[in-house]
Amino acid sequence: MFITFEGIEGSGKTTLMHAVAGALRKQGRAVVETHEPGGTPVGDRIRAIFLDRPLTISPLAEALLLNASRAHLVAEVIEPAIQRGQIVLCDRFIDSTLAYQGYGRGLNLSMLHNLSDTAARGRLPDVTFFVDISVALSRERVASRARADGQAQDRLDREDDAFHERVRGGYLELARSNEERIHVLDGTMTQEQLAASAVEALQAYEKIPTN
């Protein structure tokens, strides 16, 4: 099974992924956790470029960088783990590219679908959790995280509210178009409530006959 976690900055998707991984491991399941961009030595170098604050990167170059990282991650981590029968949990995947570079940056969605599908070798998530929060709450959480870490915000964190509103709207549109795959979770819930909701959804998914 391949499960992905999506959301705007500060939504809590990464924390949710770790919680779901822990719950699955308690059930005796073999779990691999990874993330985009990155997840491999090559991908981590691409991630450093992608998030570098001083750089100005065109929308198309962003999409190409992300998909270069994705292609390597799928080939080196995701597909081998799935073939071994492991459950793969990934922090961001194709939906992020559609939301950020498509709805956020304005790139053609059909082109991004094709580019991402090629990079992913046709691999799509079985289940996706989109953790939804308002842009205002996102801003509060990102600023608080930056103060706690003592680090400046990255390139995407520093985009204006209008950009993040477009991204959030894109995610919601993707969820409406993919109701069977994308589960929308209320990001204002506690971490425990979010994890319980996700695990319950996965249990329901696994009861659905696949033939």
Residue 11 lies in a domain: yes
Running DSSP on this structure, what letter comes out for residue 153?
-
Residue 31 lies in a domain: yes
Average pLDDT, the chain: 93
The rounded distance, in Å, linking the Cα atoms of 120 and 79 is 9
How many Cβ atoms sit within 10 Å of the Cβ of residue 158? 11
> Cα separations (Å) of 137 from 8, 18, 52, 143?
10, 21, 24, 10
Q: If 0-12 CB within 10 Å is exposed, 13-18 middle and 19+ buried, where does residue 43 land?
A: buried
pLDDT beyond 70 at 146? yes
pLDDT band with cut points at 50, 70 and 90 for residue 43 = very high
pLDDT beyond 70 at 207? no
Residue 72 lies in a domain: yes
The share of the chain scoring above pLDDT 90, in percent, equals 83
Question: The CATH number of the domain where 144 resides is what?
Answer: 3.40.50.300
Number of domains in the chain: 1
Residue range 133-139: average pLDDT?
95
Residue 211 lies in a domain: no
Contact present, 132 and 9 (Cβ < 8 Å): no
Q: What is this structure's pTM?
A: 0.93
The answer to which of 81-90, 91-100, 143-152, 155-164 has the lowest mean pLDDT is 143-152
Give me the domain span that covers residue 24.
2-206
How many Cβ atoms sit within 10 Å of the Cβ of residue 76? 16
Residue 71 lies in a domain: yes
Residue 170 lies in a domain: yes
Residue 149 lies in a domain: yes
How many helices and strands in the chain, by DSSP H and E? 9, 5
Residue 69 lies in a domain: yes
80 cis-preceded (ω within 30 degrees of 0) = no
